[in-house]
A and B are shown apart, each in its own frame.
Chain A
């Protein structure tokens, strides 16, 4: 399998890259190339020009500020997997990175590439929805910030304009206002948040049959202050399950007093509120209802809807457990 002819450009700076995108006809941005190059080899894409941004300095860092975890355009999945701050405070991101493709692909594949590709079968979009991430698009007129809800427009379609590069993803920090999923709550002391991504795949290297990302923030009484639920490969675009979020928001999933007690216990030993399972199941069903999958070799519509339900319930339970571990996340 041989790619078609194209011209390759490797700008040394963001400015140069943006200038090239402005000048060249039919140019495609490439970072890790792990989605684009297979498409070229299969001749499913044939851009006249490829602008490789991987030599641009300064785009490969993961940094946490007071408000955001900032992931640069060239951060690879492997870098995310190896990041201490991610492991400690954003385990949902680690969950997600670990199940993408295979370890060799992850050595080159980037988080921003995974998101910018606009493929509903990719895993990060659901997680970004659960986390209420912001996309920083840099174009000839400078930066603009696009909320995740406005970013995905359909199959391989995003809010990125031609000439723009997704230079950074910003994830609200768990402790910040709006952090840990949920855009409008004011930060209050003693909040705990946790998230999880669970993917059902046929084997390593496969796209998801279904995937569910759930991020929960609990207030100091153990009530869900904010919830984020995103779903993978269950429609023409990544899905944010807003009704499921509403079911979870305000719910008390942990028994009173269970919060303190749970810290020292095993992860699975949190004392759930008596009706927690019922609430989680209702949220999971709401997530399933938000899907619009197609039947294929991965299963029927009914199966995929049910997997949305099962995985959302499991991810919620895991998120809840993580919200109760001292490290938070």
Chain B
């Protein structure tokens, strides 16, 4: 079985590897490039824990061959924070308690990042639809929706100092 020489740019850094035809992109990212923020949660392309951006498009990296990504620009959770700290969406997840065990979180962040790039002011229904390929078992999604809304507001320059989810009393 022939090996393929591929080059992928991950979070701005170019990597060249000889890969087997069958190597999954998620294993390239996790096992070969040691970027373990991208997770694996199922076998059937349902959970979205492995979501990365391929040329800006959120993609389940367990259902793409590494060789298919040759030449692609890949974004993973490790690339979201910049020199000036976490992204607005990462901050939103923290402020709104949008994560618990953290395992689905990288996938949610990548999907949310792409959503906000395409739609700066998504409605609750649009957010729920956009993340419907990412399963979360901990949060019940309410605070993930709020986290995306927080980021949208912050990116729009609105007052993002809104207090975190206070209970209705």
Query: Could you list which residues of chain A lie within 8 angstroms of chain B, going by C-beta atoms?
Result: 1-8, 10, 33-34, 37-38, 40-42, 50, 52, 54, 78, 101-105, 107-108, 204-205
Contacts and interface: CB of A to CB of B under 8 A. Distances in A.
Contacts of B4: 8
Nearest to B68: A52
Of A2, A104, A107, the most chain B CB neighbours within 10 A belong to A104
Nearest to B27: A2
A37 B64 contact: yes
Given A7-B2, A8-B4, A42 B44 contact: yes
Q: Could you tell me the dominant secondary structure of chain A's interface residues?
A: loop
Interface in B109-168: 111, 129-130, 132-134
Given A3-B24, A37-B63, A205-B46, A104 B133 contact: yes
Of B2, B20, B60, B64, the most chain A CB neighbours within 10 A belong to B60
Contacts of B67: 8, 10
Nearest to B63: A37
B1 A108 contact: no
Interface of B: 1-2, 4, 20-22, 24, 43-46, 48, 51, 57-60, 62-65, 67-68, 70, 111, 129-130, 132-134
B60 A105 contact: yes
Nearest to B20: A5
A33 B21 contact: no
A205 B111 CA distance: 16
Contacts of A104: 48, 51, 58-60, 111, 133-134
Contacts of A42: 43-44
A7 B20 CA distance: 8
A105 B133 contact: yes
Contacts of B129: 103
A34 B65 CA distance: 11
Closest 4 CB pairs of A and B: A102-B133, A8-B21, A1-B43, A104-B133
Given A1-B43, A101-B133, A107 B58 contact: yes
A101 B58 CA distance: 14
Nearest to B48: A104
16 contacts: A5-B20, A5-B22, A7-B1, A7-B21, A37-B45, A37-B63, A38-B44, A38-B63, A41-B44, A52-B65, A101-B133, A104-B60, A108-B63, A204-B133, A205-B46, A205-B132
A259 to B, nearest CB: 33
A42 B46 CA distance: 14
A33 B68 contact: yes
Given A37-B63, A54-B68, A108-B59, A102 B132 contact: yes
A310 to B, nearest CB: 24
A7 B4 CA distance: 10
Contacts of B130: 103
Contact of B45 (A4, A38, A54): A38
Contacts of A5: 1, 20-22
A236 to B, nearest CB: 22
B45 A105 contact: yes
Given A8-B4, A42-B44, 12 more contacts: A3-B22, A8-B21, A34-B45, A41-B62, A101-B45, A104-B59, A104-B111, A107-B59, A108-B57, A108-B59, A108-B63, A205-B46
B46 to A, nearest CB: 6
Nearest to A54: B68
A8 B63 CA distance: 15
Contacts of A3: 22, 24
Given A33-B64, A42-B44, A105-B133, A6 B59 contact: no
Given A7-B1, A205-B132, A107 B57 contact: yes
A155 to B, nearest CB: 19
Nearest to B71: A55
Nearest to B132: A204
Contacts of A7: 1-2, 21
A41 B132 contact: no
Contacts of B59: 104, 107-108
Contacts of B62: 41
Contacts of A102: 46, 48, 132-133
Of B24, B63, B111, B133, the most chain A CB neighbours within 10 A belong to B63
Nearest to A104: B133
B65 A37 contact: yes
Contacts of B46: 102, 205
